[in-house]
Amino acid sequence: MNLRLLLLAIFYTVVLAASVPVRTHYFYLADAAQIEQQTQETTISLKADALRHPHFLTINPSTKGTQLTGDITLDGKLLQRLNNSTTINLAPRLTRGKHAIKISGKYYPIRDSIQIEFIGPNTQVNQETGGSGYLNQTLIIEVK
């Protein structure tokens, strides 16, 4: 190796080592898309006779002032739009068989969380999601 090239390499190494560190920020655009696509799924079994009584699905932000928008669908059909605090009686809409209730939306500020509760006779399911700004929950209800 040439002595001149060796001296240049040492010089540039010393200059770079003595320079002020540069802060870099990494942005991962794919992360938001992955969070948005994550879905939590819960399966609930009910007896058909129990549907004579109300079974309430309630969706609430954990903090007053949180803005929540989205949709609740039952077997692919729009059931109700989310507007912050939402409660709906699912009993009249459920029949024997398997039903998919999808709850999807967005909330702000993203540091908050959303609470989902399904309550009926002898049934209580509580879920909470937070930290992403996206709400993607699926309740599979099997009526026997």
Is 18 inside a domain boundary? Answer: no
**Integer Cα distance of 115 and 107 in angstroms:** 12
How many structural domains are present in the chain? Answer: 1
Residue type, 52: R
Is 17 inside a domain boundary? Answer: no
pLDDT of amino acid 64:
87
Q: 97-142, pLDDT tens digit by residue?
A: 999 999 999 999 988 999 999 999 988 999 888 888 999 999 999 9
pLDDT of amino acid 5:
65
Is 100 inside a domain boundary? Answer: yes
pLDDT of amino acid 7:
66
Q: 60-87, pLDDT tens digit by residue?
A: 998 888 999 999 999 999 999 998 889 9
β-strand pairing of 134-143 with 40-46 = parallel
Is 23 inside a domain boundary? Answer: no
Lowest mean pLDDT among 24-28, 36-40, 51-55: 24-28
Is 24 inside a domain boundary? Answer: no
C-alpha to C-alpha distances, 94 to 19, 28, 73, 127, nearest whole angstrom: 68, 41, 13, 21
Q: Looking at residue 33, what DSSP letter applies? A: H
- Model confidence, pTM: 0.72
User: Which residue range is the domain that position 68 belongs to?
Assistant: 40-143
